[in-house]
Structure 1
């Protein structure tokens, strides 16, 4: 039996184990490891001690590695990244990205049930990750708050455990499950498995995020298990009975996603996200037009994945490239006035579409003009605009309570931000505040 110890060197000294294991489950154990040559931290997962003692350990290890290789094919910002497989003696290990953060379960335990806005942000991110998994022909089968981790200092959720992942075509599956998050079909070896199986778990996760305070009063840490609902006639209380701040739309979407019988349940994650109001079903794809041949696919993909910080940086880069001001790294007023309308519209439409109308130049223009803004710079109107979109913030009482412009590092890059916050002026690197009114007064926005 092999157990890696703190400070132990593995893989011919390439990695050094750091401290105690990060965690251990029914199949695997995960270690934190340092790669001295790069200074980077990684998570390395192997089969745990119990699995190593099994007579079929060799077969189980091959199965474990094959599953890891499957995960490696799920290239998505909200799915744990798998880098490679290494060997230390007889033990194979999967090298993965190390995420410094807490699970959604720990997050809720620390601060209580989440606001609807924050909960939907995470469910939307994980939902998009699940859509990719399903497109690749697989089911996850173990979505729950404990298997979702939040990157530290970022509102970005990542799906981290794929131990029960199976091919969609598989009809007979092990009846492994997590109480409260598994649908009734997972209690059976042969059941009607499909994308609706993961929908139930995702809906149950949202149920928990929004109702945890009420559930704690009943000494529960999960929604009513499907088995209890099926055979003990124990009802599933609607989420709003625990949390009156939940909208009726979200309440109903959760209940549809947690329908007991699979035939009556929301069939796909995309449909579930639509029911929650996270997807605009009628929105056409944005045509990536450019007058100068600029490729906007990277910006589109970042926005589609909800990677707002990265998208903001790329927006700045493409604007400078289109204006042929990369060497100078800033725009002049005349550069903004002569910026190609096709490119400006493409950038704006991408931001508007993938933020569901929350971000974009045209959103900023509407807010700016509602305050009386024109092409001419007006300090008072500009400051009011900054306060409205979240670029300015009122200081604490001991600093005099004065409004101040925020540093780039103080900005929150997520969907909880105020309307019109993004794209940020900082990313565009204008020659001065007076240049921005020229952009927000363009007729082609």
Structure 2
């Protein structure tokens, strides 16, 4: 099926081999190579088409954005065209795995087109509509992933200016997040920061200073914070702010079964400050704040005492790349979380008792300092990817299948190790180690812990 891009065409559907529209006569191929198949999105400035590139042997799918707008208002038209060209320029400059790749940019039949990499997945807005409010563990992953992306684009002197659930997509296969729609992004030069400019962005998510025409890197952080509280509550951000008392009241709108830790509340509140001076200033600062894991108190009912678990040593070891020492420290912390003596083997059946917050903390630290290569959640993704075959799993992560001594010589304590190689399995007890990956996967799912990977 071919789709005619003429906005006035009454019957735009055509056969997949047609060169010209049977209804209006317009040429169907764009730039004599891209064949639109269907409309997959509409916005204020145009439409997005699913298309194929007929110049390449495998005819890969792509996304094509078309600008259409009434030219009666010349000023608005020129502004729209400027933003459209600007998006192409930004995409061309921003080469990043979590930003769509620019494939082409051209004009045809007095319409403007941008051809981009097709992101196969759903927006966070669609996820919310289909699956309901997100859990805390999912918000942590969104924060970490998007802050890394914002850190990159801000380093290129670009401000997105329209962060919202509709502009964040999750790939169906890999599960990583992609930031889309750079149509209102602009360069963050000093003169631009100080000069009042046109107001752009989505009203529900826009930062106060942006309403006055001054967009800063911190403005994107504000919008990211608003995005998170919306995903936690499914309530319009307009209704999450108390205008009378000039404060956010999003915690009062959390569903009864969706609890949020004080730690996450603290970070979100730092992103949501109206005054820029009181807000987290940069994505780098926000990421550092995420990495600061305070000492946690766990109620160990078996001993009726409070045990302090301090993750600072693991944090420091991982930050310095001391992978072998960090691996041993991880085992010690796991024993502590389960109230077992240090060096005790942990059985698959005991993973069900592992506190979710501790499991998430350990996994987050490994994921962060290995740049997504190591961690329990990474191992689980690999285990699922190989259809839960333990032998293939071991081969994939670089473990000996039949070596049950788990000597350190089996492991490669460096970033050159296979993805998912660490943490090692030195802590696994029992005579059936092949049960461990499934037990871990079940526990991670129960805790809502997922991996956002760019490697698989």
Shift of residue 102, structure 1, vs aligned partner: 2.1
Shift of residue 70, structure 1, vs aligned partner: 1.6
Q: What residue number does 1:218 align with?
A: none
1:195-248 C-alpha deviation (Å, 9 max, x unpaired): 211110011111111111xx2xxxxx235487x74xx54531142652451111
Q: Given the alignment of the two structures, is residue 263 of structure 1 paired with residue 272 of structure 2, yes or no?
A: no
1:362 to 418, 423, 429: 423
1:176-210 C-alpha deviation (Å, 9 max, x unpaired): 23223111101113x3x422111100111111111
Question: Is contact 1:249-1:276 (8 Å) kept?
Answer: no
Q: What residue number does 2:339 align with?
A: none
CA spacing shift, 1:365–1:389, aligned 2, 3 Å: farther
1:45-91 C-alpha deviation (Å, 9 max, x unpaired): 13222369636756753552243122222222222222222342333
Q: What residue number does 2:201 align with?
A: 177
Q: What residue number does 1:17 align with?
A: 36
What 5-or-longer segments of structure 1 have no aligned partner?
216-220, 289-298, 317-324, 352-358, 373-377, 395-410, 428-445
Question: Is contact 1:31-1:44 (8 Å) kept?
Answer: yes
CA distance in 2 between partners of 1:90 and 1:137 (Å): 31
CA spacing shift, 1:247–1:332, aligned 2, 3 Å: closer
Question: Is contact 1:182-1:200 (8 Å) kept?
Answer: yes
Question: Is contact 1:2-1:49 (8 Å) kept?
Answer: no
Question: Is contact 2:70-2:77 (8 Å) kept?
Answer: no
Q: Supply the RMSD in Å over aligned alpha carbons.
A: 4.4
Q: What residue number does 1:294 align with?
A: none
Shift of residue 417, structure 1, vs aligned partner: 4.8
Q: Given the alignment of the two structures, is residue 235 of structure 1 paired with residue 250 of structure 2, yes or no?
A: no
CA spacing shift, 1:14–1:234, aligned 2, 3 Å: same
SS of the residue corresponding to residue 29 of structure 1 reads strand
Q: Given the alignment of the two structures, is residue 273 of structure 1 paired with residue 287 of structure 2, yes or no?
A: yes
Question: Is contact 2:240-2:253 (8 Å) kept?
Answer: no
CA distance in 1 between partners of 2:399 and 2:422 (Å): 18
Shift of residue 261, structure 1, vs aligned partner: 0.8
Question: Is contact 2:99-2:179 (8 Å) kept?
Answer: yes
**TM-score under structure 2 normalisation?**
0.63
Shift of residue 42, structure 1, vs aligned partner: 0.8
Question: Is contact 2:45-2:80 (8 Å) kept?
Answer: no
1:283-303 C-alpha deviation (Å, 9 max, x unpaired): 535489xxxxxxxxxx96664
2:237 to 222, 234, 252: 222
Q: Given the alignment of the two structures, is residue 85 of structure 1 paired with residue 85 of structure 2, yes or no?
A: no
CA distance in 2 between partners of 1:35 and 1:200 (Å): 38
Shift of residue 383, structure 1, vs aligned partner: 3.7
Question: Is contact 1:181-1:225 (8 Å) kept?
Answer: no
CA distance in 2 between partners of 1:233 and 1:338 (Å): 61
SS of the residue corresponding to residue 87 of structure 2 reads helix
Shift of residue 139, structure 1, vs aligned partner: 0.7
**TM-score under structure 1 normalisation?**
0.65
Q: How many positions carry a matched residue from both structures?
A: 348
CA distance in 2 between partners of 1:188 and 1:267 (Å): 18
Question: Is contact 1:223-1:236 (8 Å) kept?
Answer: no
CA spacing shift, 1:333–1:32, aligned 2, 3 Å: same
Question: Is contact 2:83-2:183 (8 Å) kept?
Answer: no
CA spacing shift, 1:16–1:266, aligned 2, 3 Å: same
Q: What residue number does 2:220 align with?
A: 198
Shift of residue 6, structure 1, vs aligned partner: 4.2
CA spacing shift, 1:179–1:307, aligned 2, 3 Å: farther
CA distance in 2 between partners of 1:179 and 1:59 (Å): 19
What 5-or-longer segments of structure 2 have no aligned partner?
15-20, 22-27, 294-311, 324-368, 387-394
Shift of residue 385, structure 1, vs aligned partner: 2.3
SS of the residue corresponding to residue 426 of structure 2 reads helix
Shift of residue 340, structure 1, vs aligned partner: 7.5
CA spacing shift, 1:51–1:95, aligned 2, 3 Å: farther
1:245 to 259, 262, 267: 259
CA distance in 1 between partners of 2:435 and 2:382 (Å): 22
Q: How does 1:363-442 map to 2 (within 5 A)?
A: 363-366=424-427, 368=428, 371-372=429-430, 378=431, 381-390=432-441, 416-417=449-450
2:187 to 142, 167, 185: 167
Question: Is contact 1:104-1:145 (8 Å) kept?
Answer: yes
Shift of residue 174, structure 1, vs aligned partner: 1.4
